C-alpha cells in the first residue's frame, strides 16, 4: 500500500518562520508547536535550555475535527467551529507569551477533507494563525526524530509507530551500520527527509514507511455498526493488520534480535499508565517505559472486561479518550502480533515535540540529541 499523499498541501499558507539567527539562543526566544489532528488540538510552548528544551505552557482539547469525515468526505460546520474555538485559546497563549517562532500543522483530517482549503481560510480569518497541512511523510519524520533518544544501543532495526486520530504512521529504520553509541544521533540526522543521500558518516537508513489511513477515530467510525465489544475489537484489529500487508517489512519479516518497536500516541501512554496502576498520570514514569506483549494484552483484556461504562469511569483512561481507547488498542495489538518482538518502548512524545526540535535545531539553539524537560 503506497502512503497517501495530500492533494493540495502545497496550496496552503506556511507558518511564519523568521530567518535563523543567533538572537534566538541569546534571548531565550519561545517556540510554539501545534498539532491539529482528527480528534485533538494540542500545543506546546517551550524555550531552548542548553541541550534541552523546557515546556513553559501547553494546551490540549478533544475537538473531533474529523467527526463525520469518514461518511461525508468533508469537515462539518460544527467540528470546524469547535476547532476554531480551541485555536482561539491557542492564539491567546501565543500572544500572552510573545511567541514569534512557531509552526502550526494539521494532519490527516485536513489531508482528506474536500473542504480543507475553506477551513484553512476560516482559521486564518478568525484567529490569524498560519495553520498548514503537512504531508504524511513529514508527520512521520517529525514523530521519528522526537523518539531518537529512546533508541536502544542494542537496536539494529527500529520501528517507530505513531497512532493518530485519523491515520497511523510506521517508519522502519536500519541502524546496523551505525556505532551503537551514535544510533540516536543518526536518527536525528534524517530530519532532512527519508530519502537522504549516502554521506561520509554511517547513517540511519529508512527501509520503508507507510501512512495507514486509519487511526483511533477513523477506525472506530468504520466499525460503528458492530455493537458487541469483543467482536468489534477483534474485527478492528484484523482489519488494521490487513492494511499492513504491502509494507515491505511486514512481507519480508524481520530479524528476531536487535529489533525495537517504539510506540508514540495517547493509546500507548494510556495502556502504559494502566499497566503501572497510576492513579494520576505521571509522564516521568511512562516515557521510556518498556512493556511486554503479555503486559499489553493484560491491560487490553481489562479494558474489554470494563465495558463502555467502566472505561468511561476509569480516571486513567479519561473522559476524552474512553470512546477511542478500544480502536487504539486494536491497532496496538495488531502491531504486536505482526512483528517478532514481545517488547515495546513507550514514548510520551510525538509530532509537537518533533516540531519544536526541528525549529530549534534549524536555529542552532539545541544540539542533535536535544531532550524534553
Confidence at residue 285, expressed as pLDDT on a 0 to 100 scale:
95
Residues 128 and 20 in one domain: yes
Whether residue 241 sits in one domain with residue 134? no
328 and 365 fall within a common domain: no
230 and 359 part of one domain:
no
Is residue 117, in this structure, part of any structural domain at all? yes
pLDDT at 117: 94
Q: What is the mean pLDDT of the chain?
A: 84
Cell match 494539521: residue?
Answer: 106
User: How many domains, in total, are found in the chain?
Assistant: 2
Q: Are residues 166 and 207 in the same domain?
A: yes
- Reported as a pLDDT band with limits 50, 70 and 90, residue 17 is very low
The predicted model gives 123-130 an average pLDDT of 96
CB 169 within 8 A of CB 162: yes
**Residues in Cβ contact with 199 at an 8 Å cutoff, skipping those fewer than 6 apart:** none
CA distance 94 to 19: 19
Please report whether residue 322 resides in a domain.
yes
- How far apart are the C-alpha atoms of 209 and 159, rounded to whole Å? 9
Based on the fold, state whether residues 342 and 356 are members of the same structural domain: no
pLDDT of residue 6: 34
On whether residue 287 sits in a domain, the answer given is yes
First-to-last alpha carbon distance for the chain, in angstroms, is 37
pLDDT at 7 over 90: no
C-alpha torsion angle, residues 217, 219, 221, 223 (rounded to 10): -150
Domain identity same for 37 and 98: yes
Note whether residue 143 is domain-resident. no
Query: In terms of Cα–Cα distance, which of 182, 183, 158 is closest to 171?
Result: 158
Q: Domain of 129: which CATH number?
A: 3.30.420.40
Integer Cα distance of 32 and 259 in angstroms:
34
Q: Is residue 16 part of a domain?
A: yes
Mean pLDDT lowest among 35-49, 182-196, 231-245, 314-328: 182-196
Residues 203 and 103 placed together within one structural domain of the fold = no
CATH number assigned to the domain comprising residue 317: 3.30.420.150
| Residue 88 sits in the same domain as residue 178 | no
**CA–CA separation, 373 and 49 (whole Å):** 9
Is the domain of 201 the same as that of 168? yes
pLDDT digits (tens, 9 = 90+) for 333-350: 999 888 868 899 999 988
Q: Residue 346, Cβ neighbours under 10 Å: how many? A: 24
- Give the model confidence (pLDDT) of 73-112 as tens digits: 999 999 999 999 999 999 999 999 999 899 999 999 999 9
Tens of pLDDT, residue by residue over 146-187, are 888 899 989 988 999 999 999 999 999 888 888 988 887 788
Average pLDDT over residues 265-291: 93
Residue 191: predicted pLDDT: 52
Q: Is residue 4 a part of any domain in this protein?
A: no
The predicted pLDDT at position 198 comes to 58
- Residue range of the domain that includes 82: 9-138+352-372
Q: What is the pLDDT of residue 93?
A: 97
Checking if the pLDDT of 249 tops 90, the result is no
Given pLDDT bands bounded at 50, 70 and 90, which one contains residue 188?
Answer: confident
Backbone angles phi, psi at 200, to 5 degrees: -70, -25
Structural domain contains residue 3: no
What does the pLDDT read at residue 186?
80
Q: What is the pLDDT of residues 299-335, one digit of tens each?
A: 999 999 999 999 998 888 877 788 899 999 999 999 9
Q: At residue 137, does pLDDT exceed 50?
A: yes
* 246-260, 285-299, 353-367: least confident range: 246-260
* % pLDDT > 70, the chain: 84
CA–CA separation, 165 vs 39, rounded Å? Answer: 5
The answer on 172 and 133 residing in a single domain is: no
Query: 114 with 184, same domain?
Result: no
Domain assignment present for 184: yes
State pLDDT tens for residues 205-226.
Answer: 888 899 999 999 999 989 988 8
Confidence grade of residue 201 (pLDDT, cut at 50, 70, 90): low
In terms of pLDDT, which residue wins out, 13 or 269?
269
**Cross-strand partners of 45:** 32, 57
Amino acid at each position: 500500500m503506497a502512503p497517501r499523499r495530500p492533494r493540495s498541501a502545497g496550496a496552503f499558507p506556511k507558518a511564519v518562520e523568521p530567518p535563523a539567527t543567533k538572537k534566538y539562543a541569546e534571548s531565550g526566544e519561545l517556540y510554539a508547536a501545534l498539532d491539529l489532528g482528527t480528534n485533538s488540538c494540542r500545543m506546546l510552548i517551550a524555550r531552548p535550555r542548553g541541550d534541552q528544551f523546557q515546556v513553559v505552557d501547553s494546551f490540549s482539547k478533544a475537538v473531533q475535527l474529523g467527526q463525520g469525515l469518514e461518511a461525508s468526505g468533508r469537515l462539518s460546520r460544527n467540528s470546524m467551529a469547535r476547532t476554531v474555538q480551541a485555536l482561539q485559546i491557542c492564539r491567546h497563549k501565543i500572544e500572552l507569551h510573545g511567541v514569534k517562532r512557531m509552526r502550526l500543522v494539521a494532519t490527516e483530517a485536513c489531508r482528506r477533507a474536500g473542504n480543507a482549503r475553506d477551513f484553512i481560510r476560516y482559521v486564518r480569518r478568525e484567529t490569524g494563525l498560519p495553520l498548514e497541512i503537512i504531508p504524511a511523510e513529514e508527520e512521520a519524520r517529525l514523530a521519528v526524530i522526537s523518539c531518537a533518544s529512546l533508541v536502544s544501543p542494542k537496536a539494529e532495526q527500529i520501528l517507530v509507530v505513531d497512532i493518530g486520530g485519523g491515520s497511523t504512521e510506521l517508519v522502519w529504520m536500519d541502524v546496523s551500520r551505525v556505532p551503537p553509541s551514535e544510533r540516536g544521533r543518526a536518527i536525528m540526522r534524517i530530519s532532512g527527509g527519508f530519502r537522504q543521500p549516502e554521506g561520509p558518516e554511517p547513517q540511519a537508513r529508512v527501509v520503508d514507511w507507510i501512512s495507514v489511513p486509519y487511526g483511533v477515530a477513523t477506525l472506530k467510525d468504520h466499525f460503528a455498526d458492530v455493537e458487541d465489544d469483543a467482536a468489534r475489537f477483534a474485527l478492528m484489529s484484523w482489519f488494521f493488520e490487513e492494511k499492513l500487508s504491502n509494507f515491505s517489512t511486514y512481507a519480508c519479516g524481520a530479524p528476531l534480535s536487535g529489533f525495537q518497536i517504539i510506540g508514540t500516541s495517547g493509546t500507548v501512554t494510556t495502556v502504559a499508565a494502566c499497566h503501572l496502576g497510576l492513579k494520576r498520570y505521571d509522564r516521568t514514569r511512562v516515557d521510556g517505559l518498556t512493556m511486554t506483549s503479555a503486559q499489553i494484552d493484560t491491560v487490553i483484556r481489562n479494558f474489554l472486561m470494563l465495558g463502555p461504562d467502566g472505561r468511561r469511569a476509569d480516571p486513567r483512561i479519561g473522559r476524552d479518550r474512553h470512546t477511542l481507547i478500544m480502536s487504539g488498542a486494536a491497532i496496538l495489538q495488531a502491531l504486536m502480533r505482526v512483528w517478532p518482538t514481545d517488547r515495546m518502548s513507550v514514548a510520551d512524545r510525538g509530532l509537537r515535540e518533533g516540531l519544536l526540535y526541528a525549529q530549534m535545531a534549524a536555529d542552532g539553539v539545541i544540539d542533535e540529541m536535544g531532550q524534553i524537560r
